[in-house]
A and B are shown apart, each in its own frame.
Chain A
Amino acid sequence: QITLKESGPTLVKPTQTLTLTCTFSGFSLSTSGVGVGWIRQPPGKALEWLAIIYWDDDKRQSPSLSSRLTITKATSKNQVVLTMTDMGPEDTATYYCTRLYGDSYFDYWGQGTLVTVSS
């Protein structure tokens, strides 16, 4: 059974850095072709892809946010960490962790974690 779970702060202040952790089970990020990604959804808006890290440590980031994003993995811990710098109110969203199937679609999702940016 594949599961993913997001963890991190529910409230951050403007200009702070957000650090989110995805802890997953049921698969390994050392398996060829596997990736783990982050997606967010601001209230009332569409989902937005943020970043992906692959089994071979290759990374992809949304061009519009790449300067603010860092994605890393701890394979032995089955964790992927996303950091986003210089948080603003527009970054208030539910953040989702997902598994990427063969560099194509996301086949498993976490339940999401709501992050609010407010002073």
Chain B
Amino acid sequence: QMTQSPSTLSASVGDRVTITCRASQSISTWLAWYQQKPGKAAKLLIYEASSLESGVPSRFSGSGSGTDFTLTISSLQPDDFATYFCLQYNDYWTFGQGTKVEIK
């Protein structure tokens, strides 16, 4: 089970944004982060907890291992207002509930 927080986040362009996922048991670094916009395909941002997918801007970063993980956007851009979710792939596949990043 993955617990993601917060469920909603209000922020401004330029803000540093942090989203967390907590696993109910250790998943090593078998965690990915995605961005999703309405009506669009989800986009892979981070895999193996901290590896940046090719083509993803460097303002996105991931950290953590074991049970606690973080997605950080260092300086929020207008294109970043979206929903973000985590995925654990250590034991089958389980998703976090998602975090909607809204304009403040």
How far, in angstroms, from A81 to B43 measured CA to CA in the complex?
Answer: 23
- Contact with B95, one of A4, A37, A47, A109 (Cβ below 8 angstroms): A47
Are B47's CB and A104's CB within 8 A? yes
Are A105's CB and B32's CB within 8 A? yes
Of residues 70 to 119 in A, which have CB atoms within 8 Å of B's CB atoms? Answer: 96, 101, 104-112
Majority secondary structure, B binding face: loop
* Chain B neighbourhood of A96, CB < 8 A: 42
Are A105's CB and B41's CB within 8 A? no
- Contact with B41, one of A45, A46, A110 (Cβ below 8 angstroms): A110
- State which size class the interface on B falls in: 20 to 34
How far, in angstroms, from A74 to B18 measured CA to CA in the complex?
Answer: 42
* Residues of A in contact, count (CB < 8 Å): 21
Chain B proximity of A55: nearest CB distance (Å): 18
Chain B interfacial positions (CB closer than 8 Å to A): 30, 32, 34, 39-44, 47, 53, 85, 87, 89, 92-98
15 further A-B contacts with Cβ under 8 Å, apart from A101-B47, A111-B39, are A45-B97, A46-B97, A47-B85, A47-B98, A49-B92, A49-B93, A49-B94, A49-B95, A62-B92, A104-B89, A105-B32, A106-B93, A109-B34, A111-B40, A112-B41
